[in-house]
Chain A
Protein backbone atom coordinates (compact mmCIF):
# COMPACT_ATOMS: atom_id res chain seq x y z
CA UNK A 1 0.00 0.00 0.00
CA UNK A 2 2.60 2.52 1.05
CA UNK A 3 4.95 1.47 -1.73
CA UNK A 4 2.30 1.97 -4.41
CA UNK A 5 1.48 5.50 -3.28
CA UNK A 6 5.18 6.28 -3.18
CA UNK A 7 5.74 5.04 -6.75
CA UNK A 8 2.58 6.72 -7.97
CA UNK A 9 3.45 9.90 -6.08
CA UNK A 10 6.93 10.23 -7.50
CA UNK A 11 6.10 11.06 -11.13
CA UNK A 12 3.27 13.30 -9.97
CA UNK A 13 5.60 15.22 -7.69
CA UNK A 14 8.21 15.46 -10.42
CA UNK A 15 5.61 16.71 -12.89
CA UNK A 16 4.46 19.26 -10.33
CA UNK A 17 8.04 20.37 -9.82
CA UNK A 18 8.44 20.77 -13.58
CA UNK A 19 5.21 22.75 -13.82
CA UNK A 20 6.32 25.00 -10.96
CA UNK A 21 9.66 25.57 -12.62
CA UNK A 22 7.96 26.45 -15.92
CA UNK A 23 5.72 28.98 -14.12
CA UNK A 24 8.78 30.44 -12.40
CA UNK A 25 10.47 30.88 -15.76
CA UNK A 26 7.50 32.77 -17.19
CA UNK A 27 7.24 34.92 -14.06
CA UNK A 28 10.92 35.78 -14.27
CA UNK A 29 11.19 36.39 -18.01
CA UNK A 30 9.78 39.96 -18.16
CA UNK A 31 12.01 41.21 -15.36
CA UNK A 32 15.14 39.58 -16.73
CA UNK A 33 14.38 40.81 -20.23
CA UNK A 34 13.85 44.34 -18.89
CA UNK A 35 17.20 44.30 -17.08
CA UNK A 36 19.09 42.89 -20.08
CA UNK A 37 17.59 45.40 -22.53
CA UNK A 38 17.70 48.51 -20.38
CA UNK A 39 20.65 47.88 -18.05
CA UNK A 40 23.13 45.43 -19.56
CA UNK A 41 22.72 46.62 -23.15
CA UNK A 42 23.28 50.33 -22.31
CA UNK A 43 26.41 49.50 -20.30
CA UNK A 44 27.79 47.36 -23.15
CA UNK A 45 26.89 50.14 -25.57
CA UNK A 46 28.88 52.56 -23.45
CA UNK A 47 31.95 50.30 -23.65
CA UNK A 48 31.49 49.93 -27.42
CA UNK A 49 31.02 53.65 -28.08
CA UNK A 50 34.14 54.49 -26.08
CA UNK A 51 36.07 53.07 -29.07
CA UNK A 52 34.18 55.07 -31.68
CA UNK A 53 35.63 57.99 -33.58
CA UNK A 54 34.71 61.39 -32.18
CA UNK A 55 34.32 64.26 -34.59
CA UNK A 56 33.31 67.78 -33.61
CA UNK A 57 29.59 67.19 -33.27
CA UNK A 58 29.00 63.52 -34.01
CA UNK A 59 30.44 60.08 -33.45
CA UNK A 60 31.15 57.49 -36.11
CA UNK A 61 31.31 53.74 -35.59
CA UNK A 62 34.89 53.52 -36.84
CA UNK A 63 36.85 51.83 -34.08
CA UNK A 64 39.76 53.74 -32.58
CA UNK A 65 41.49 54.15 -29.22
CA UNK A 66 41.88 57.89 -29.74
CA UNK A 67 39.43 58.87 -27.00
CA UNK A 68 41.21 56.56 -24.57
CA UNK A 69 44.57 58.10 -25.43
CA UNK A 70 43.08 61.56 -24.96
CA UNK A 71 41.78 60.58 -21.54
CA UNK A 72 45.05 59.16 -20.24
CA UNK A 73 47.25 61.94 -21.64
CA UNK A 74 45.10 64.90 -20.64
CA UNK A 75 45.96 66.80 -17.50
CA UNK A 76 42.29 67.72 -16.93
CA UNK A 77 40.96 64.18 -17.05
CA UNK A 78 43.73 62.67 -14.93
CA UNK A 79 43.38 65.34 -12.26
CA UNK A 80 39.63 64.73 -12.25
CA UNK A 81 40.29 61.01 -11.79
CA UNK A 82 42.53 61.82 -8.84
CA UNK A 83 39.97 64.25 -7.36
CA UNK A 84 37.28 61.57 -7.60
CA UNK A 85 39.41 58.99 -5.80
CA UNK A 86 40.48 61.52 -3.17
CA UNK A 87 36.94 62.74 -2.44
CA UNK A 88 35.62 59.17 -2.40
CA UNK A 89 38.22 58.09 0.19
CA UNK A 90 37.70 61.22 2.30
CA UNK A 91 33.91 60.84 2.32
CA UNK A 92 34.20 57.11 3.03
CA UNK A 93 36.37 57.71 6.10
CA UNK A 94 34.25 60.70 7.18
CA UNK A 95 30.95 58.79 6.97
CA UNK A 96 32.49 55.93 8.95
CA UNK A 97 33.88 58.22 11.67
CA UNK A 98 30.70 60.30 11.89
CA UNK A 99 28.36 57.34 11.66
CA UNK A 100 30.00 54.67 13.79
CA UNK A 101 29.41 56.25 17.23
CA UNK A 102 25.75 56.83 16.39
CA UNK A 103 25.40 53.24 15.18
CA UNK A 104 27.11 52.09 18.38
CA UNK A 105 24.62 54.01 20.48
CA UNK A 106 21.53 52.99 18.51
CA UNK A 107 22.53 49.38 17.91
CA UNK A 108 24.20 48.42 21.16
CA UNK A 109 23.46 50.84 23.97
CA UNK A 110 19.77 51.46 23.34
CA UNK A 111 18.10 48.22 24.35
CA UNK A 112 14.60 49.67 24.30
CA UNK A 113 13.12 48.56 20.96
CA UNK A 114 10.75 51.53 20.65
CA UNK A 115 13.51 54.09 21.24
CA UNK A 116 15.73 52.22 18.80
CA UNK A 117 13.06 52.41 16.10
CA UNK A 118 12.39 56.08 16.83
CA UNK A 119 16.10 56.93 16.47
CA UNK A 120 16.40 55.00 13.20
CA UNK A 121 13.26 56.63 11.81
CA UNK A 122 14.71 60.04 12.78
CA UNK A 123 17.77 59.17 10.69
CA UNK A 124 15.65 58.22 7.69
CA UNK A 125 13.17 61.15 7.70
CA UNK A 126 15.54 63.58 5.90
CA UNK A 127 15.42 61.20 2.93
CA UNK A 128 11.86 62.33 2.40
CA UNK A 129 13.18 65.64 1.22
CA UNK A 130 14.38 65.71 -2.35
CA UNK A 131 18.08 64.84 -2.67
CA UNK A 132 18.76 68.02 -4.63
CA UNK A 133 17.05 70.18 -2.01
CA UNK A 134 19.17 68.59 0.70
CA UNK A 135 22.29 69.44 -1.29
CA UNK A 136 21.13 73.02 -1.86
CA UNK A 137 20.37 73.38 1.86
CA UNK A 138 24.10 73.48 2.54
CA UNK A 139 24.49 76.75 0.65
CA UNK A 140 22.85 78.98 3.29
CA UNK A 141 24.66 76.92 5.97
CA UNK A 142 28.20 77.28 4.68
CA UNK A 143 28.21 80.60 2.85
CA UNK A 144 30.18 83.68 3.89
CA UNK A 145 27.00 85.03 5.52
CA UNK A 146 25.82 81.52 6.25
CA UNK A 147 24.50 80.05 9.46
CA UNK A 148 27.76 78.44 10.58
CA UNK A 149 29.80 81.61 10.11
CA UNK A 150 27.11 83.65 11.89
CA UNK A 151 27.05 81.25 14.85
CA UNK A 152 30.85 81.09 15.11
CA UNK A 153 31.06 84.89 14.97
CA UNK A 154 28.27 85.23 17.50
CA UNK A 155 30.09 82.95 19.90
CA UNK A 156 33.23 85.03 19.40
CA UNK A 157 35.24 82.07 18.13
CA UNK A 158 36.18 83.82 14.90
CA UNK A 159 36.34 87.49 13.91
CA UNK A 160 36.09 87.27 10.15
CA UNK A 161 33.91 84.76 8.36
CA UNK A 162 35.62 81.66 7.01
CA UNK A 163 35.26 81.87 3.24
CA UNK A 164 36.71 78.44 2.50
CA UNK A 165 33.55 76.79 3.85
CA UNK A 166 31.54 77.16 0.66
CA UNK A 167 32.57 76.61 -2.96
CA UNK A 168 35.55 74.47 -2.05
CA UNK A 169 36.44 70.82 -1.76
CA UNK A 170 35.59 71.02 1.92
CA UNK A 171 31.98 71.98 1.24
CA UNK A 172 31.60 69.03 -1.14
CA UNK A 173 32.99 66.65 1.49
CA UNK A 174 30.72 68.09 4.22
CA UNK A 175 27.65 67.89 2.00
CA UNK A 176 28.33 64.32 0.88
CA UNK A 177 29.14 63.17 4.40
CA UNK A 178 25.81 64.45 5.67
CA UNK A 179 23.84 62.97 2.80
CA UNK A 180 25.46 59.52 2.83
CA UNK A 181 26.39 58.88 6.48
CA UNK A 182 22.99 57.32 7.18
CA UNK A 183 23.87 54.52 4.75
CA UNK A 184 26.77 53.75 7.08
CA UNK A 185 24.73 54.02 10.30
CA UNK A 186 21.98 51.63 9.18
CA UNK A 187 23.98 48.47 8.34
CA UNK A 188 26.38 48.92 11.28
CA UNK A 189 23.55 49.43 13.78
CA UNK A 190 21.87 46.34 12.34
CA UNK A 191 24.96 44.17 12.89
CA UNK A 192 25.57 45.62 16.38
CA UNK A 193 21.98 44.92 17.33
CA UNK A 194 22.57 41.23 16.70
CA UNK A 195 25.41 40.95 19.20
CA UNK A 196 24.38 38.76 22.13
CA UNK A 197 24.54 41.01 25.24
CA UNK A 198 25.65 37.97 27.26
CA UNK A 199 28.93 37.85 25.35
CA UNK A 200 29.75 41.42 26.36
CA UNK A 201 28.51 40.73 29.89
CA UNK A 202 30.80 37.71 30.12
CA UNK A 203 33.78 39.69 28.86
CA UNK A 204 33.10 42.39 31.44
CA UNK A 205 32.78 39.83 34.23
CA UNK A 206 36.17 38.49 33.22
CA UNK A 207 37.58 41.98 33.77
CA UNK A 208 37.84 43.36 30.23
CA UNK A 209 37.62 47.16 29.94
CA UNK A 210 35.47 48.89 27.29
CA UNK A 211 38.48 49.43 25.03
CA UNK A 212 39.29 45.75 24.99
CA UNK A 213 35.65 44.67 24.56
CA UNK A 214 35.35 47.11 21.66
CA UNK A 215 38.53 45.85 19.98
CA UNK A 216 37.95 42.13 20.40
CA UNK A 217 34.15 41.77 20.26
CA UNK A 218 32.25 44.81 18.99
CA UNK A 219 34.52 45.89 16.13
CA UNK A 220 35.00 42.44 14.51
CA UNK A 221 31.30 41.63 14.78
CA UNK A 222 30.32 44.94 13.20
CA UNK A 223 32.66 44.53 10.20
CA UNK A 224 30.02 43.10 7.83
CA UNK A 225 27.91 46.20 8.54
CA UNK A 226 30.89 48.45 7.83
CA UNK A 227 31.50 46.65 4.53
CA UNK A 228 27.86 46.92 3.42
CA UNK A 229 27.82 50.60 4.40
CA UNK A 230 31.11 51.17 2.58
CA UNK A 231 29.72 49.56 -0.58
CA UNK A 232 26.61 51.79 -0.48
CA UNK A 233 28.63 54.96 0.16
CA UNK A 234 31.33 54.11 -2.40
CA UNK A 235 28.95 53.37 -5.23
CA UNK A 236 26.95 56.52 -4.57
CA UNK A 237 29.90 58.88 -4.09
CA UNK A 238 31.75 57.57 -7.16
CA UNK A 239 28.68 58.19 -9.31
CA UNK A 240 28.10 61.69 -7.90
CA UNK A 241 28.01 64.93 -9.81
CA UNK A 242 25.18 66.98 -8.31
CA UNK A 243 26.78 67.76 -4.94
CA UNK A 244 29.98 68.99 -6.53
CA UNK A 245 27.98 70.98 -9.10
CA UNK A 246 25.97 72.69 -6.35
CA UNK A 247 28.56 73.22 -3.64
CA UNK A 248 31.97 73.57 -5.27
CA UNK A 249 31.28 76.47 -7.64
CA UNK A 250 32.78 74.40 -10.49
CA UNK A 251 36.06 74.06 -8.61
CA UNK A 252 35.68 70.34 -7.97
CA UNK A 253 35.28 68.29 -11.13
CA UNK A 254 34.50 64.67 -10.44
CA UNK A 255 34.40 62.10 -13.22
CA UNK A 256 30.60 62.38 -13.06
CA UNK A 257 30.83 66.12 -13.77
CA UNK A 258 33.14 65.43 -16.71
CA UNK A 259 30.53 63.05 -18.17
CA UNK A 260 27.80 65.69 -17.80
CA UNK A 261 29.94 68.37 -19.48
CA UNK A 262 31.03 66.07 -22.31
CA UNK A 263 27.45 64.99 -23.03
CA UNK A 264 26.44 68.66 -22.95
CA UNK A 265 28.94 69.37 -25.75
CA UNK A 266 27.98 66.18 -27.64
CA UNK A 267 31.35 64.51 -27.02
CA UNK A 268 29.71 61.11 -26.62
CA UNK A 269 32.83 59.00 -27.15
CA UNK A 270 34.79 60.90 -24.48
CA UNK A 271 31.85 60.66 -22.10
CA UNK A 272 31.74 56.91 -22.73
CA UNK A 273 35.46 56.57 -21.95
CA UNK A 274 34.96 58.36 -18.62
CA UNK A 275 31.94 56.18 -17.95
CA UNK A 276 33.93 52.99 -18.54
CA UNK A 277 36.75 54.23 -16.29
CA UNK A 278 34.19 54.95 -13.57
CA UNK A 279 32.60 51.50 -13.99
CA UNK A 280 35.99 49.79 -13.70
CA UNK A 281 36.89 51.72 -10.54
CA UNK A 282 33.53 50.93 -9.00
CA UNK A 283 33.75 47.24 -9.84
CA UNK A 284 37.25 47.05 -8.34
CA UNK A 285 36.15 48.84 -5.16
CA UNK A 286 33.10 46.61 -4.62
CA UNK A 287 35.08 43.44 -5.37
CA UNK A 288 37.83 44.49 -2.93
CA UNK A 289 35.28 45.28 -0.21
CA UNK A 290 33.52 41.95 -0.69
CA UNK A 291 36.86 40.25 -0.27
CA UNK A 292 37.34 41.78 3.19
CA UNK A 293 34.24 40.06 4.54
CA UNK A 294 32.36 37.12 3.11
CA UNK A 295 28.89 38.63 3.20
CA UNK A 296 26.95 35.50 2.37
CA UNK A 297 28.52 33.74 5.34
CA UNK A 298 27.86 36.64 7.70
CA UNK A 299 24.31 37.58 6.75
Chain B
Protein backbone atom coordinates (compact mmCIF):
# COMPACT_ATOMS: atom_id res chain seq x y z
CA UNK B 1 0.00 0.00 0.00
CA UNK B 2 2.99 2.16 0.78
CA UNK B 3 3.81 2.86 -2.83
CA UNK B 4 0.51 2.04 -4.54
CA UNK B 5 -1.67 4.69 -2.86
CA UNK B 6 0.63 7.22 -1.25
CA UNK B 7 3.17 7.56 -4.01
CA UNK B 8 0.68 8.66 -6.74
CA UNK B 9 -0.95 11.09 -4.31
CA UNK B 10 2.41 12.63 -3.45
CA UNK B 11 3.35 12.73 -7.14
CA UNK B 12 0.20 14.70 -7.96
CA UNK B 13 0.86 16.93 -4.97
CA UNK B 14 4.40 17.64 -6.17
CA UNK B 15 2.97 18.58 -9.57
CA UNK B 16 0.63 21.06 -7.90
CA UNK B 17 3.54 22.35 -5.83
CA UNK B 18 5.53 23.08 -8.98
CA UNK B 19 2.47 24.82 -10.43
CA UNK B 20 2.39 26.97 -7.27
CA UNK B 21 6.07 27.83 -7.79
CA UNK B 22 5.79 28.59 -11.49
CA UNK B 23 2.20 29.89 -11.84
CA UNK B 24 2.88 33.54 -11.00
CA UNK B 25 5.92 33.63 -13.28
CA UNK B 26 3.92 32.17 -16.17
CA UNK B 27 1.16 34.73 -15.67
CA UNK B 28 3.78 37.47 -15.53
CA UNK B 29 5.38 36.26 -18.74
CA UNK B 30 2.01 36.13 -20.53
CA UNK B 31 1.01 39.62 -19.36
CA UNK B 32 4.31 41.09 -20.52
CA UNK B 33 2.93 40.71 -24.05
CA UNK B 34 -0.03 42.96 -23.26
CA UNK B 35 -0.64 45.75 -25.72
CA UNK B 36 0.44 49.26 -24.80
CA UNK B 37 0.37 51.93 -23.66
CA UNK B 38 -3.28 51.60 -22.65
CA UNK B 39 -3.15 47.90 -21.67
CA UNK B 40 -2.79 47.35 -17.95
CA UNK B 41 -1.03 44.68 -15.91
CA UNK B 42 -4.08 42.39 -15.80
CA UNK B 43 -6.21 40.06 -17.88
CA UNK B 44 -7.66 39.93 -20.42
CA UNK B 45 -4.93 40.42 -22.99
CA UNK B 46 -6.42 43.12 -25.20
CA UNK B 47 -4.01 42.40 -28.01
CA UNK B 48 -0.71 40.51 -28.14
CA UNK B 49 2.22 42.81 -28.72
CA UNK B 50 5.84 43.42 -27.83
CA UNK B 51 5.09 47.05 -26.97
CA UNK B 52 6.43 46.85 -23.43
CA UNK B 53 9.69 45.28 -24.53
CA UNK B 54 10.17 48.17 -26.97
CA UNK B 55 9.17 50.52 -24.17
CA UNK B 56 12.03 49.19 -22.04
CA UNK B 57 14.56 50.07 -24.71
CA UNK B 58 13.01 53.46 -25.38
CA UNK B 59 11.81 52.46 -28.88
CA UNK B 60 8.22 53.59 -28.37
CA UNK B 61 6.85 57.10 -28.81
CA UNK B 62 6.80 58.98 -25.48
CA UNK B 63 3.74 58.26 -23.38
CA UNK B 64 2.58 59.12 -19.87
CA UNK B 65 4.36 56.01 -18.57
CA UNK B 66 7.95 56.83 -17.71
CA UNK B 67 10.51 54.29 -18.90
CA UNK B 68 12.30 52.23 -16.24
CA UNK B 69 15.68 53.76 -15.41
CA UNK B 70 17.46 50.54 -16.30
CA UNK B 71 20.35 51.62 -18.49
CA UNK B 72 22.65 53.17 -15.89
CA UNK B 73 21.44 50.97 -13.05
CA UNK B 74 22.15 47.86 -15.12
CA UNK B 75 25.77 48.94 -15.61
CA UNK B 76 26.12 49.69 -11.90
CA UNK B 77 24.62 46.34 -10.91
CA UNK B 78 26.92 44.44 -13.28
CA UNK B 79 30.06 46.26 -12.09
CA UNK B 80 29.04 45.75 -8.48
CA UNK B 81 28.33 42.04 -9.05
CA UNK B 82 31.69 41.45 -10.78
CA UNK B 83 33.64 43.28 -8.07
CA UNK B 84 31.75 41.42 -5.34
CA UNK B 85 32.35 38.14 -7.14
CA UNK B 86 36.12 38.67 -7.35
CA UNK B 87 36.62 39.86 -3.77
CA UNK B 88 34.35 37.33 -2.11
CA UNK B 89 35.81 34.42 -4.09
CA UNK B 90 39.37 35.42 -3.13
CA UNK B 91 38.34 35.81 0.52
CA UNK B 92 36.35 32.57 0.43
CA UNK B 93 39.15 30.50 -1.11
CA UNK B 94 41.82 31.81 1.26
CA UNK B 95 39.61 31.41 4.35
CA UNK B 96 38.69 27.85 3.36
CA UNK B 97 42.36 27.09 2.65
CA UNK B 98 43.19 28.37 6.16
CA UNK B 99 40.55 26.08 7.65
CA UNK B 100 42.48 23.04 6.40
CA UNK B 101 44.94 23.59 9.25
CA UNK B 102 43.61 23.07 12.75
CA UNK B 103 43.86 26.20 14.86
CA UNK B 104 42.38 27.50 18.07
CA UNK B 105 39.26 29.64 17.76
CA UNK B 106 38.26 28.09 14.46
CA UNK B 107 34.71 27.63 15.76
CA UNK B 108 34.30 31.33 16.51
CA UNK B 109 35.74 32.35 13.15
CA UNK B 110 33.44 29.89 11.37
CA UNK B 111 30.35 31.36 12.99
CA UNK B 112 31.60 34.92 12.41
CA UNK B 113 31.82 34.23 8.68
CA UNK B 114 28.52 32.34 8.45
CA UNK B 115 26.81 35.17 10.35
CA UNK B 116 27.25 37.30 7.22
CA UNK B 117 24.69 35.27 5.27
CA UNK B 118 22.30 34.94 8.20
CA UNK B 119 21.87 38.54 9.38
CA UNK B 120 19.03 40.18 7.39
CA UNK B 121 20.01 42.87 4.93
CA UNK B 122 17.83 45.49 6.60
CA UNK B 123 19.88 45.26 9.79
CA UNK B 124 23.39 45.38 8.27
CA UNK B 125 22.21 48.03 5.84
CA UNK B 126 20.91 50.17 8.69
CA UNK B 127 24.06 49.57 10.76
CA UNK B 128 26.31 50.49 7.83
CA UNK B 129 24.33 53.66 7.16
CA UNK B 130 24.72 54.64 10.82
CA UNK B 131 28.47 53.96 10.76
CA UNK B 132 28.85 55.99 7.55
CA UNK B 133 26.80 58.88 8.97
CA UNK B 134 28.84 58.96 12.16
CA UNK B 135 32.17 58.87 10.37
CA UNK B 136 30.96 61.39 7.82
CA UNK B 137 31.50 59.03 4.88
CA UNK B 138 29.26 59.44 1.83
CA UNK B 139 27.24 56.36 1.02
CA UNK B 140 27.78 54.97 -2.48
CA UNK B 141 26.92 51.78 -4.29
CA UNK B 142 30.64 51.22 -5.00
CA UNK B 143 31.65 51.84 -1.38
CA UNK B 144 29.36 51.12 1.54
CA UNK B 145 27.00 48.94 -0.50
CA UNK B 146 29.87 47.00 -2.07
CA UNK B 147 31.42 45.99 1.28
CA UNK B 148 28.00 44.78 2.47
CA UNK B 149 27.55 42.71 -0.69
CA UNK B 150 30.85 40.98 0.08
CA UNK B 151 29.73 40.41 3.70
CA UNK B 152 26.72 38.60 2.23
CA UNK B 153 28.42 36.56 -0.54
CA UNK B 154 31.76 35.74 1.12
CA UNK B 155 30.13 33.13 3.45
CA UNK B 156 28.61 31.34 0.44
CA UNK B 157 31.96 31.21 -1.33
CA UNK B 158 33.60 30.06 1.90
CA UNK B 159 31.10 27.22 2.46
CA UNK B 160 31.36 26.03 -1.15
CA UNK B 161 35.16 25.95 -0.91
CA UNK B 162 35.05 24.26 2.48
CA UNK B 163 32.95 21.48 0.98
CA UNK B 164 35.42 21.16 -1.91
CA UNK B 165 38.46 20.98 0.39
CA UNK B 166 36.70 18.34 2.52
CA UNK B 167 36.80 15.94 -0.41
CA UNK B 168 40.26 16.98 -1.48
CA UNK B 169 43.10 14.47 -1.86
CA UNK B 170 46.03 15.95 0.01
CA UNK B 171 48.61 13.46 -1.29
CA UNK B 172 48.94 15.48 -4.53
CA UNK B 173 50.11 18.57 -2.67
CA UNK B 174 52.34 16.55 -0.39
CA UNK B 175 54.01 15.02 -3.44
CA UNK B 176 54.75 18.52 -4.76
CA UNK B 177 56.06 19.69 -1.38
CA UNK B 178 58.32 16.68 -0.97
CA UNK B 179 59.78 17.48 -4.41
CA UNK B 180 60.73 20.87 -3.02
CA UNK B 181 58.10 22.99 -4.79
CA UNK B 182 57.26 26.14 -2.82
CA UNK B 183 53.79 26.33 -1.18
CA UNK B 184 52.75 29.28 -3.36
CA UNK B 185 53.75 27.47 -6.54
CA UNK B 186 52.10 24.28 -5.33
CA UNK B 187 48.88 26.18 -4.80
CA UNK B 188 49.04 27.70 -8.27
CA UNK B 189 50.06 24.58 -10.15
CA UNK B 190 48.45 21.74 -8.19
CA UNK B 191 45.77 22.89 -5.76
CA UNK B 192 44.07 25.58 -7.82
CA UNK B 193 43.43 23.48 -10.96
CA UNK B 194 41.96 20.77 -8.73
CA UNK B 195 39.57 23.11 -6.91
CA UNK B 196 38.67 25.13 -10.01
CA UNK B 197 35.13 23.71 -10.38
CA UNK B 198 34.46 24.80 -6.79
CA UNK B 199 35.86 28.26 -7.47
CA UNK B 200 33.55 28.52 -10.47
CA UNK B 201 30.53 27.64 -8.31
CA UNK B 202 31.58 30.15 -5.65
CA UNK B 203 31.86 32.82 -8.34
CA UNK B 204 28.42 31.97 -9.71
CA UNK B 205 26.89 32.19 -6.23
CA UNK B 206 28.56 35.50 -5.47
CA UNK B 207 27.64 37.07 -8.80
CA UNK B 208 23.96 36.14 -8.78
CA UNK B 209 23.43 36.94 -5.10
CA UNK B 210 25.01 40.35 -5.51
CA UNK B 211 23.21 41.06 -8.79
CA UNK B 212 19.83 40.42 -7.11
CA UNK B 213 20.63 41.92 -3.70
CA UNK B 214 18.64 44.95 -2.64
CA UNK B 215 17.83 45.07 1.09
CA UNK B 216 21.46 45.80 1.98
CA UNK B 217 21.83 48.14 -0.96
CA UNK B 218 18.69 50.11 -0.05
CA UNK B 219 20.21 51.93 2.94
CA UNK B 220 23.88 51.74 1.99
CA UNK B 221 23.94 52.94 -1.60
CA UNK B 222 23.10 56.61 -1.50
CA UNK B 223 21.46 58.33 -4.45
CA UNK B 224 22.50 56.22 -7.46
CA UNK B 225 20.20 53.25 -7.98
CA UNK B 226 21.22 49.70 -8.74
CA UNK B 227 18.91 47.54 -10.84
CA UNK B 228 16.98 45.90 -7.95
CA UNK B 229 16.50 49.33 -6.37
CA UNK B 230 15.05 50.60 -9.65
CA UNK B 231 12.52 47.75 -9.54
CA UNK B 232 11.83 48.35 -5.87
CA UNK B 233 11.02 51.94 -6.75
CA UNK B 234 8.08 50.77 -8.87
CA UNK B 235 6.48 49.11 -5.83
CA UNK B 236 5.14 52.37 -4.47
CA UNK B 237 3.60 53.54 -7.73
CA UNK B 238 1.15 51.97 -10.16
CA UNK B 239 2.85 49.10 -11.97
CA UNK B 240 2.76 48.62 -15.72
CA UNK B 241 3.57 45.59 -17.87
CA UNK B 242 7.02 47.07 -18.60
CA UNK B 243 8.13 45.72 -15.22
CA UNK B 244 6.87 42.29 -16.30
CA UNK B 245 8.74 42.51 -19.61
CA UNK B 246 11.82 43.45 -17.66
CA UNK B 247 11.31 40.44 -15.37
CA UNK B 248 11.22 38.13 -18.39
CA UNK B 249 14.43 39.66 -19.77
CA UNK B 250 16.36 39.37 -16.46
CA UNK B 251 15.28 35.75 -16.15
CA UNK B 252 16.59 35.06 -19.65
CA UNK B 253 19.82 36.82 -18.72
CA UNK B 254 20.16 34.58 -15.64
CA UNK B 255 19.67 31.48 -17.77
CA UNK B 256 22.34 32.71 -20.16
CA UNK B 257 24.66 33.08 -17.18
CA UNK B 258 23.80 29.58 -16.03
CA UNK B 259 24.58 28.38 -19.55
CA UNK B 260 28.03 30.01 -19.47
CA UNK B 261 28.64 28.37 -16.11
CA UNK B 262 27.61 24.97 -17.48
CA UNK B 263 29.93 25.36 -20.49
CA UNK B 264 32.91 26.39 -18.34
CA UNK B 265 32.20 23.53 -15.96
CA UNK B 266 32.03 20.96 -18.77
CA UNK B 267 35.25 22.30 -20.25
CA UNK B 268 37.12 22.09 -16.95
CA UNK B 269 35.82 18.58 -16.26
CA UNK B 270 36.81 17.50 -19.78
CA UNK B 271 40.28 19.00 -19.36
CA UNK B 272 40.69 17.18 -16.04
CA UNK B 273 39.73 13.92 -17.78
CA UNK B 274 42.14 14.53 -20.64
CA UNK B 275 44.99 15.16 -18.19
CA UNK B 276 44.08 11.97 -16.35
CA UNK B 277 44.15 9.98 -19.60
CA UNK B 278 47.54 11.45 -20.56
CA UNK B 279 48.90 10.46 -17.17
CA UNK B 280 47.60 6.91 -17.60
CA UNK B 281 49.28 6.65 -21.01
Contact = CB atoms under 8 A, between A and B. Distances in A.
B151 A109 contact: no
Contacts of A138: 24
A256 B219 CA distance: 12
Interface-central residue, B13, B25, B97, B122, by most chain A CB under 10 Å: B122
Nearest to A46: B127
Interface in B127-146: 127-131, 133-134
B124 A245 contact: no
Interface string B112-128: 11011011111110111
B14 A42 contact: no
A181 B21 CA distance: 9
The SS class assigned to the A binding surface is helix
A27 B23 contact: no
B231 interface: yes
B10 A105 contact: yes
A263 interface: yes
Contacts of A38: 124, 128, 147-148, 150-151
Given A101-B13, A139-B41, A20 B101 contact: yes
A126 B20 CA distance: 11
A155 to B, nearest CB: 15
Interface stretch (B46-54, B164-172, B251-259, B273-281): B251-259
B212 interface: yes
Nearest to A182: B21
Contacts of B2: 204, 210, 213
Contacts of A31: 91-92, 94-95, 113, 154, 158
Contacts of B113: 31-32, 35
B28 interface: yes
B215 A241 contact: yes
A251 to B, nearest CB: 14
B150 A239 contact: no
B103 A147 contact: no
A256 B122 contact: yes
Given A27-B97, A133-B250, A278-B123, A126 B41 contact: no
Interface in A134-153: 134, 136-141, 143, 145-147, 150
Contact of A35 (B112, B128, B243): B112
B51 to A, nearest CB: 17
Contact of A235 (B92, B118, B147, B158): B118
Interface string A99-140: 101101110010000000001001100101111111011111
A106 B28 contact: no
Interface in A67-100: 98-99
A129 B123 contact: no
B206 to A, nearest CB: 13
B7 interface: yes
Contacts of A141: 23-24, 27
Nearest to A124: B21
B183 interface: yes
B94 A27 contact: yes
Contact of A24 (B103, B231, B236, B250): B103
Contacts of B250: 129-130, 133
Contacts of B130: 42, 45-46, 49, 268, 272
Interface of A: 20-21, 23-25, 27-28, 30-32, 34-46, 49, 98-99, 101-102, 104-106, 109, 119, 122-123, 126, 128-134, 136-141, 143, 145-147, 150, 178, 181-182, 204, 209-210, 213, 235-236, 238-242, 245-246, 256, 259-260, 263, 268, 271-272, 275, 278-279, 282, 286
29 contacts: A21-B101, A28-B99, A30-B94, A31-B94, A32-B109, A35-B154, A38-B151, A39-B116, A41-B127, A41-B131, A42-B126, A44-B127, A101-B14, A109-B11, A123-B21, A131-B214, A132-B235, A133-B250, A134-B24, A136-B231, A136-B247, A137-B24, A138-B24, A146-B42, A239-B123, A245-B235, A263-B219, A272-B130, A279-B123
Given A133-B250, A137-B24, 8 more contacts: A35-B113, A123-B18, A128-B208, A146-B43, A178-B21, A213-B2, A242-B232, A260-B218
Closest A-B pairs by Cβ, 3 of them: A239-B120, A42-B127, A133-B247
